[in-house]
Every structure is written in C-alpha cells, then in structure tokens.
Amino acid sequence: MNDENQIDSKDAAEIRRLEARAGGMLPGIAGICMFMIFMTILNVFAALRGTFGMGTAKYSVLGVCTILGVGIFGLLTLRKWGWAIVTAGCLLLSSGDFYFFERTKVAFFLIRALLVLVFFLYLVRGSVRDRLR
C-alpha cells in the first residue's frame, strides 16, 4: 500500500511539473524582468557618468550590470541559469539598498529594497521554479 502511494505522489508531482511548463511565463516574471532591466540601465548610465567613482567601483558595477543583463534575457527564455542570476541580482540589489538606507536614512532606498526583496521572494517560489527549463 505504501509503495502505491509513493508512486502516485511521484506521478502527481511529475504531472504538476509538466502542467506548469505548459503554462508558459508567469506575468510576474515579465514584470520583474522589466524592472530589473530598467535598474540595470540606470546603473550603467550612473557608472558611465562617474557616480560610483572613476576607479574599480565603476568597472565592478559595469560587470555586475552586464551579468545581470545576460541573466534577464536568460530568465525571459525561462532558463534556470537566468533565474539563478536574476535571483542573485535581486538579493544583491536589495542588500545594497538596505546598506544605503542605513548609511543615508533616505526612505527611497528602504522602499526600493523592500520591493526588490518581494521580487526575490516571488522568484524563489516553487511554482516559478517549476516553469523553468
């Protein structure tokens, strides 16, 4: 009896996974990608204008933005590696905004950090991961 329940639960999990893939992209993924590409573009322009300084910080920001841009397009094609990069980017952006809020006490950074943290929590849901290839 126990073996039949195990097989049924494995079959049910496989059916849920296949149904999730057939559904395509969730609207939340597209919204997160649009927001993250907007933030990436803003950070690239800020780095090119010298907002982050002229030393290694400038090139570090440009490198992170390049990797995040590649991850965004990977997530739009529902690839697991794209999901991993964007999820890490959301966590990195959120923690950076929390740091800037702590240093400057500007409420904008807190609001943006909480918004991006919600994006991170959305991306780590099981239903989002089941749709990836």
Question: How many structural domains are present in the chain?
Answer: 1
What is the distance between the alpha carbons of residues 103 and 92, in angstroms, rounded to a whole number? 17
Q: pLDDT at position 116, please?
A: 95
Cβ neighbors of 20 (< 8 A, separation 6 or more) are: 127, 130, 131
pLDDT of residue 124: 94
What pLDDT sits at residue 31? 94
Q: What is the pLDDT along the chain (133 residues), one digit of tens a residue?
A: 555 555 667 777 777 666 655 667 888 999 999 999 999 999 999 989 988 778 888 898 899 999 999 999 999 999 999 999 999 999 999 998 999 999 999 999 999 999 999 999 999 998 888 888 7
pLDDT computed for residue 56 by the predictor: 87
- Can you read off the two tokens belonging to residue 16? 């849920």
Q: Note the pLDDT of residue 6.
A: 59
CA distance 26 to 41: 23
Residue 12's domain spans which residues? 2-129
What's the Cα-to-Cα distance from 56 to each of 44, 51, 93, rounded to whole Å? 14, 12, 18
Rounded to 10°, the helix 80-104/56-76 angle is 140
pTM for the model: 0.78
pLDDT score, position 99:
93
- The predicted pLDDT at position 65 comes to 92
